[in-house]
Amino acid sequence: MAGHDYEAVKAEIKKIVPNDEYDDGSTGPVLVRLAWHASGTYDKETGTGGSNGATMRYKIESSDSANNGLEHARKFLEPIKEKFPWISYSDLWTLGGVVAIEAMGGPVVPWKPGRVDDVDDKYVPPNGRLPDASQGAAHIRSIFYRMGFNDQEIVALSGAHNLGRCHGDRSGFEGPWVPNPTRFNNTYFKLLLHAEWVKSKNSLGNEQFYSDDGELMMLPTDMSLVTDPKFRVWVEKYAKDKDFFFNDFSAAFAKLIELGVTRGPEGLALRKYSTVARARL
């Protein structure tokens, strides 16, 4: 908020993104995933969920199996929270994703402070609000329409799978989507359209899609972006035009991290749901 040096926080986050000892040499992808999962619990009908409150600090939410592995991201950010104790976790986790995207060559994503942490555990959204990778287009739509996104925004956001990898012990899926998973661009969309994808069971018995050399992967949900004609239109546009993808991704990610964040007159997010929203949870 006023008087706080967010640029200094950003500079510290930027420093922790390259990391030779972690995964593919970067903490960036898991930081992006933390920002997304902290925000993607939003339900527009009840106004519940979303990044405000950093409710993944509570066991109910951190133990949702969809959030396996995100403890790494939370731990990477902890020394920054210690250095700048005035920043809320909810601001730090969302800013972490935004800085990581830019540090990996992605677009600048507009970010605003003001999220607050002092909420009780009744604020924690129920488990099961994040997408299940073994499903298809209808499931993706039901999850993202609940947050208030349209098909174009869904496909743009899915382009985040240009980053990082699946870890068998976290999700039951294995491997990266692209050859250079710490650089943000539109390769994911090009590969979705132009590589040969073969469905087979991974070493854990879960079905995923493999490239012909077996080095790259797609989740069943990723493949539904090319088999569903309405999603495919956007995959084709983003594969052809990186700048267009970057623009749409930036706007959609900015919207994602603002879901449920309603600021009061002093710029701080309001802490309470209405009793009506509570009752509908």
Residues 128, 60 contacting (CB under 8 angstroms): no
Of residues 25 through 44, those in contact with ligand DDH by CB under 6 A are 29-30, 32-33, 36
If one asks whether residue 158 binds ligand DDH (CB under 6 A), the answer comes out as yes
Q: Are strands 207-210 and 217-218 parallel, antiparallel or unpaired?
A: antiparallel
Size of the site for ligand DDH (CB under 6 A): 24
Q: Is 177 a catalytic residue?
A: yes
Length of the chain, in residues:
281
If one asks whether residue 216 binds ligand DDH (CB under 6 A), the answer comes out as no
> Which residue among 16, 124, 140, 239 contacts ligand DDH (CB under 6 A)?
140
Residues 17, 31 contacting (CB under 8 angstroms): yes
Please report where in the chains the tokens 């030779």 appear, as a residue.
20
Please report where in the chains the tokens 């073994």 appear, as a residue.
134
Q: Of 32 and 119, which CB lies nearer to ligand DDH in the complex structure?
A: 32
Question: Smallest Cα–Cα separation from 88: which of 112, 50, 53?
Answer: 53
Minimum distance of ligand DDH from residue 273's CB (angstroms): 24
Minimum distance of ligand DDH from residue 275's CB (angstroms): 31
If one asks whether residue 133 binds ligand DDH (CB under 6 A), the answer comes out as yes
If one asks whether residue 225 binds ligand DDH (CB under 6 A), the answer comes out as no
If one asks whether residue 129 binds ligand DDH (CB under 6 A), the answer comes out as no
Of residues 46 through 85, those in contact with ligand DDH by CB under 6 A are 69
Residues 258, 98 contacting (CB under 8 angstroms): no
Distance CA 133, CA 126 (A): 19
Q: Which own/partner contact pairs does 274-279 have at CB distance under 8 Å and 24+ positions apart?
A: 274/47, 277/46, 277/47, 277/48, 278/122
If one asks whether residue 171 binds ligand DDH (CB under 6 A), the answer comes out as yes
Residues identified as active-site: 37, 177
Contact residues for ligand DDH (CB under 6 A)?
29-30, 32-33, 36, 69, 131, 133, 140, 157-158, 160-161, 163-167, 170-171, 173, 219, 221, 253
